[in-house]
Structure 1
Amino acid sequence: MADKEETPAVSLKDMKKFEKWTKSLKYITGLGMDEVERKDFKKRLDVELEEYQCNQCEVWKDNLLKNSPPVRFMVEQLRKVDKEMTKDDFQCIPCDEMRSGGFSPVDGILLCPNKIGSKTHQEHTMVHEMIHMYDHHKFNVDWSNLKHQACSEVRAASLSGDCRWTREMQRGFFTFTKQHQVCVKRRAVLSVTQNPNCKNVEEAERAVSSVFESCFADTRPFDEIY
């Protein structure tokens, strides 16, 4: 008499995965799910994605603080200007703005997990904001002054790796002549326009142009653009 083949036991975890997959398929195709169910499922997916992105940001943050040469270098340089950096100085919080990070003299450094696409991108963002923090502590920047901010934005865009050719390619910019300078100026202007004291793009452009040469040449605390 032949042995009867046993049906493999299905775990609760597998059932939940299958249920989620089925709902995802319904959400994508629009079949078998009413509007209320679609909205509820999308909301759940958004929450799960936000949690995943924030957790990833925290993992990358810890790893970069331990292993990234430019991040570790900036930690050391900030220590020299009496600013002791810890991981608590970096907050992983989803952002509504089209930016990957920010610096506040009061709140420290903001990292935007929903706008950061890779570990390398987060590394550049951390270094960028740490350069702002360095400038704040070493040069006593007045962030309401457009020229002061423009200078720090030029330095941060130039020295952080944010304007490397590969990053520009990802953004869809293919300038080959003075690519680095063009990127630095464009991104500095973009940041200055966000200053509440900036009236328009033209005013931001004038502020950046007025400080560009001297601030682009100032690579402190780096010996050169890395």
Structure 2
Amino acid sequence: MTDVSNTTPINDDTSKKDMKKFERWRKSLQYLTGLGMNETERKAFRDQIDIELAEYQCQQCERWKTNLIKNNPPVRFMMDELKKIGREMSSEDFQCMPCDETRSGGFSPEDGILLCQNRLGTKTRQEHTMVHEMVHMYDHHKFKVNWSNLRHHACSEIRAASLSGDCNWSSEIQRGFYTFTKQHQACVKRRAILSVAQNPNCKDKAEAERAVSSVFESCFADTRPFDEIY
């Protein structure tokens, strides 16, 4: 006879979690093989995966944001410098949201900084994006940038790409660029042109190239508020 007094009770919560994992595994197998799942069920499963992925990406973006604001030297430095010119920032100034594939972040004078949660695969990428957009915010408040003026926009894009870490060697390698001479400058110019070309007032890529070229030397040399490119 079994001594029921010494048996370990079944944890209902654990059992439910295990069943949920098994059910998810079963549906995943059905989805991959196409067996036992009709098109309506397949669409519902895809939609559920998309929802769960978006929730995970948002949570991860928020965790990284909190940690970077608290502990990351370049992010902390930019927040301190913005405070000096009268633009004190908080966590609420950074909004994690899904974006299309054309951007990883954005700056709006009215709404603050956008962090594209589905485009930030690493914490380092998110750090660079936060610093990049904070350079735009710094320029907006320090230099009164007119964002409809392509030369103004180009100057801020040059500075943001150069100062944020966007164009460090490891980032360029991951993008497939292996230039050994003036790699940093080439990256800054390329990324600035791509950004200016998206300005509603820019007619085409050729106009963006002209705007970037016209201000490149002076704006690349301007590392404020940093002492140098880090």
Which of the five TM-score ranges fits, normalised by the shorter chain? over 0.9
Question: Alignment length, in residue pairs?
Answer: 223
User: Aligned AA for 1:91?
Assistant: Q
Larger deviation: 168-177 or 43-52?
Answer: 168-177
Unaligned runs of 5+ in 1: none
C-alpha distance in structure 2 between counterparts of 1:46 and 1:78, whole Å = 37
Moved beyond 3 Å, runs of 4+: none
TM-score between both structures, scaled by the size of structure 2: 0.94
Unaligned runs of 5+ in 2: none
User: Which residue of structure 2 aligns with residue 122 of structure 1?
Assistant: 126
Is the 8 Å Cα contact of residues 98 and 115 (structure 1) preserved in structure 2? Answer: no
1:44-92 deviations in whole A, cap 9, x for unaligned? 0000000000010001000000000000000000001100000000000
C-alpha distance in structure 2 between counterparts of 1:135 and 1:219, whole Å = 11
* Aligned residues: CA RMSD: 1.6
User: Which residue of structure 2 aligns with residue 113 of structure 1?
Assistant: 117
User: Aligned AA for 2:108?
Assistant: S
User: Which residue of structure 2 aligns with residue 189 of structure 1?
Assistant: 193
User: Which residue of structure 2 aligns with residue 12 of structure 1?
Assistant: 16
Q: 1:31, CA displacement in angstroms?
A: 2.0
C-alpha distance in structure 1 between counterparts of 2:114 and 2:44, whole Å = 29
User: Which residue of structure 2 aligns with residue 93 of structure 1?
Assistant: 97
User: Aligned AA for 1:63?
Assistant: N
User: Which residue of structure 2 aligns with residue 154 of structure 1?
Assistant: 158
Q: 1:154, CA displacement in angstroms?
A: 0.2
User: Aligned AA for 1:189?
Assistant: I
C-alpha distance in structure 2 between counterparts of 1:199 and 1:119, whole Å = 35
User: Aligned AA for 1:217?
Assistant: A
Q: 1:170, CA displacement in angstroms?
A: 1.1
Is the 8 Å Cα contact of residues 101 and 109 (structure 1) preserved in structure 2? Answer: yes
C-alpha distance in structure 2 between counterparts of 1:141 and 1:116, whole Å = 27
Q: Secondary structure at the match of 2:106?
A: strand
Question: Alignment partner for residue 59 of structure 2, among 52, 55, 61?
Answer: 55
User: Aligned AA for 2:15?
Assistant: S
1:125-164 deviations in whole A, cap 9, x for unaligned? 0000000000000000000000000000000000000001
C-alpha distance in structure 2 between counterparts of 1:29 and 1:189, whole Å = 45
Is the 8 Å Cα contact of residues 92 and 110 (structure 1) preserved in structure 2? Answer: yes
1:14-70 deviations in whole A, cap 9, x for unaligned? 001110011111112222211111110000000000000001000100000000000
Matches within 5 A, 1:28-67: 28-67=32-71
Question: Alignment partner for residue 74 of structure 1, among 56, 69, 78?
Answer: 78
User: Aligned AA for 2:81?
Assistant: Q
Is the 8 Å Cα contact of residues 150 and 207 (structure 1) preserved in structure 2? Answer: yes
Identity of aligned residues (%): 74
User: Aligned AA for 1:202?
Assistant: A
User: Which residue of structure 1 aligns with residue 225 of structure 2?
Assistant: 221
Q: Secondary structure at the match of 2:218?
A: helix
C-alpha distance in structure 2 between counterparts of 1:31 and 1:207, whole Å = 56
C-alpha distance in structure 1 between counterparts of 2:182 and 2:21, whole Å = 51
TM-score between both structures, scaled by the size of structure 1: 0.95
Q: 1:2, CA displacement in angstroms?
A: 10
